Amino acid sequence: MKTERNHKLNNFKLHRGHFLRQRSTAEGGESCKFLFPMAAVLSTLLLLLIFSRSFLGTFSLGVGINYGQIANNLPSPSRVSILLGSLNISRVKLYDADPNVLTAFANTNVEFIIGLGNEYLQKMQDPQEAQIWIQQKVQPYISQTRITCITVGNEVLGGQDYQLPQYLVPAMKAMHQALVTLGLNSQVIVTTAHSLQILKTSFPPSNGAFRDDLIQYIQPILSFHATYNSPFLINAYPYFAYKNDPKNVQIEYLLFEPNSGSVDPNTNLKYDNMLYAQIDAVYSGIKALGHSDVQVRISETGWPSKGDVDEPGATVENAGIYNRNLLQRMQDGQGTPAHPSQRIDIYVFALFNENMKPGPTSERNYGLYYPDGSPVYNLGVQGYLPRIDYSSSAKYALSIFRVLVLIIGSLFFS
């Protein structure tokens, strides 16, 4: 995409240079100053329109983004919508169903995953409660904002609350039935997101298996996904492997940097990074339970740019390396060694650093951006966070028009 942007800029410069030469060599010099051919005006205007959209962002990250909001210093959702538009990000994952966000992204064509918090699971087993939630959180916005998925709970299995797992599948079924009742099931799917704590074995990937105590919950979840064609979501963080054992874990293997890799002795497949091995381990666990019809997607992955003294590797440099290399691989449309034809689908964590998240310092420093819109590190893309809120598309269009007028004026009178 960087090449494409440079190509547009070069075309613009060449076109403008041709126009200036045309003026300087015209008969009569000053007398021909305003004899600018109409065709050139139209073509220049077209290029400027293309360029005006480009300077707000021609690049695309090629992934989805987690938009967390556990902070007291974040920009307004309307400003965030412009930032994501400038990055050409078209998929966003929320942890709730914030009406301010869904309203701010109306008519933007951005796809949203919205979340139902763990605290609501027990209540949402009741089909009536599930329907009320859909009527309040989805129906008012879906005609203008693309809501395509609901995550029912987050990292419920393998967590510290041992009561929650029993509510998970009934809540998922009730939410799906509510969508059917309201005629929205063709637009919105239902799933849940898991941490890798659900695995008892992750290496070699071909031996990947789920924890025995969780199979009673995972089996019906897989049947649900297979029936309704919804994905199995995992939150995968290779960083934790390094944090837990920095002396024995090769950091290059985690950062997608050149390394010796590892070979699965059962399949002879070579892995040059841990994330792909983790994905294939989950696929193996799913297959072991009798399913080859469920797709795995990464609902969270990232690397912290700052940590406590006992969080080695949490640096700006490593975070930049991890996400740049990850984005490059997503641009290349890669699959994993065991599933090379299945393009990996990823949501990066996270859009902003969130200053009110509990836990170690790293938890507050996974963002690609600081709350003021400046990048934490160079990703090879440039986003644009406006300093003021745009209340309507008309104001935005007017600002672009003013820029065009100024540029065209400089072309005529320079």
What residues are annotated to the active site? Answer: 155, 300
DSSP conformation class of 74: P
Report which of 58, 10, 19 is spatially closest to residue 42, judged by C-alpha positions: 19
- The HSE-up count of residue 256 (CA atoms within 13 Å, CB side) is 19
Report which of 219, 220, 327, 342 is spatially closest to residue 280, judged by C-alpha positions: 342
Report which of 229, 223, 342 is spatially closest to residue 279, judged by C-alpha positions: 342
* Residue 262 tokens, joined: 């590892």
Q: What's the CA gap between 349 and 366, in Å, rounded?
A: 6
Beta strand spans in 118-236 (E): 146-154, 189-195, 199-201, 209-210, 232-235
Cβ atoms 188, 151 nearer than 8 A: no
What residues contact residue 212 under an 8 Å CB cut-off, 6+ apart?
A: 200
